[in-house]
Amino acid sequence: MSSALPRSAIQRIARAVVMAEVGRLRERGQPGLPADIWPDAMPIGDDGLGLDSLEQLGALGALAEMFGLDDHLLGPEPPRVVGGWVGWIMARHDPGDGELTVMTSGSTGQPRPCVHAIADLLTEARFLATQLGGRRRVVALVPGHHLYGIIWTALLPTVLNVPVVARTLGAPLDLASGDLVVAVPDQWRAIARLVRSFPEDVVGCSSAGPLDATLATDLLAAGLSRLLDVYGSSETGGIAVRDLPDDAYNLLPRWRLAPAGEDDWQLYDARGRSYSLPDHVERIGERRLRPIRRRDGAVKVGGETVWPARVVDTLRQIDGVADVAVRQHDNGRLKAFIVPDGTREPTELSAAIENICDVRLSPAERPRSVRFGAALPRNMMGKLEDWA
């Protein structure tokens, strides 16, 4: 069975990589690139994607990092059309021994690379395909350059031999029987409010954060025939899958659990390599687990990993702030409780906080609810407690 990266998967992943890189380079992250499929003959510069010379270099660098490329595979001239990018990638990946590198955030919030053998990712996609019979189309609400999107919206469709259609919430989803909808929890929360009923035989998939049982029940009651939740990380790929509203996950065939000290577990793959789990977990039998809490104190906001402690450190550095607490709100966004030190007027302090949040925090890190008080809320034992 081939371990080469399929051309259709390369096209989708490469497009997402370029979209992300151009969005990073342009003001406010707006790439302004065509939303539909990019034909191989589409020019990269004028009369096509419209990338200037610096953006074209940025795209080449981002593609090289993702697909493990170097310049000796390039032609005598830089690629001028989209097919030049695809050909560059295929020249490296046709032998079937390639790797993909995705970026994640470590405990300090600094991006770091996670390298995956394409053979492992394809094996995961092939197993998932055996669990998803009858799919006629993949409806993608997630980009194709993060690991969840790579496996579920680029590799899985090629294994299932079904087309991929990209959708954006806020426009009609136009779902049909046989669809597999790939989204993250925040998107599923929006879908539950926007979609009154689903067509028959529509399956949903969620990842990049827990999806609560109440939301799952609402979606299933609206006619979703099945809702899968994938537990994994950028370091490992998919680890386990559950059918909601079940609260325990079934390990994917690649993995087994082994003890890692008292009341702790780690992953081993078929080659005997060990990996840390992103959470402390409860083991249930040989092949099931239930996550209990993150090891690093991080939370997921809109599919992104966010460290409330980093937000606390940022807000504490503002003149006029004596103390800060940050937690995740029930709506999935962060909220902050701030104790002023009395040296600034409330309106001045609020403006300073808003400015620092805009400049130093990512959209996912910015608290969407800020409450002020004379002291942080604590219980009778002196431990920090939640606030409304």
* C-alpha distance from residue 302 to each of 17, 34, 54, 153, 331 (Å): 19, 24, 30, 18, 10
Cα first-last separation, the chain: 55
Backbone CA torsion sign across 8, 14, 17, 20? negative
Asked if omega into 113 is within 30° of 0 (cis), the reply is no
* pLDDT score, position 212: 82
Q: pLDDT tens digits, residue range 74-103? A: 878 889 999 999 999 988 877 667 889 998
Is the pLDDT confidence value at 106 over 60?
A: no
Q: pLDDT tens digits, residue range 21-58? A: 998 888 665 667 776 788 999 999 988 899 999 999 99
Amino acid at the residue 96: G
Q: pLDDT tens digits, residue range 215-226? A: 999 999 999 999
Is the pLDDT confidence value at 250 over 80?
A: yes
Q: pLDDT tens digits, residue range 288-345? A: 998 887 776 677 787 677 888 889 889 988 999 998 999 888 788 899 999 999 899 9
For the structural domain made of 307-372, what CATH number should be given? Answer: 3.30.300.30
In the sheet that 369-372 helps form, which strands lie side by side, from edge to edge?
321-328, 334-340, 369-372
Q: Using an 8 Å Cβ cutoff, are 137 and 176 in contact?
A: yes
Q: Using an 8 Å Cβ cutoff, are 222 and 216 in contact?
A: no
Q: Which residues contact 18 (CB under 8 A, 6 or more apart)?
A: 33, 49, 59, 62, 63, 85
SS3 362: coil
More confident residue, 302 or 241: 241
Amino acid at the residue 221: A
In which residue ranges of the chain is CATH 3.30.300.30 found? 307-372
- Average pLDDT of the residues of the chain: 87
Q: Using an 8 Å Cβ cutoff, are 58 and 31 in contact?
A: no
SS3 268: strand
Amino acid at the residue 179: D
**Options 2.30.110.10, 3.40.50.300, 3.30.43.10, 3.40.50.12780; which CATH number does 103-295 get?**
3.40.50.12780
Q: Using an 8 Å Cβ cutoff, are 114 and 102 in contact?
A: yes
Distance, CA of 251 to CA of 248 (rounded, Å): 10
* pLDDT score, position 74: 80
* pLDDT score, position 205: 96
* pLDDT score, position 286: 86
Confidence of residue 372 (pLDDT cuts 50, 70, 90): very high
* pLDDT score, position 384: 78
pLDDT > 70: percent of the chain? 93
Distance, CA of 295 to CA of 278 (rounded, Å): 6
Confidence of residue 382 (pLDDT cuts 50, 70, 90): low
* C-alpha distance from residue 138 to each of 134, 225, 237, 334 (Å): 11, 15, 19, 31
Beta strands in 40-96 (DSSP E): none
SS3 280: strand
More confident residue, 381 or 198: 198
In which residue ranges of the chain is CATH 3.40.50.12780 found? 103-295
Q: pLDDT tens digits, residue range 139-174? A: 999 989 989 999 999 999 999 999 999 998 889 999
* pLDDT score, position 243: 92
- Would you identify the CATH topology of the domain 1-97? 1.10.1200
* C-alpha distance from residue 300 to each of 35, 152, 181 (Å): 27, 19, 20
More confident residue, 26 or 126: 126
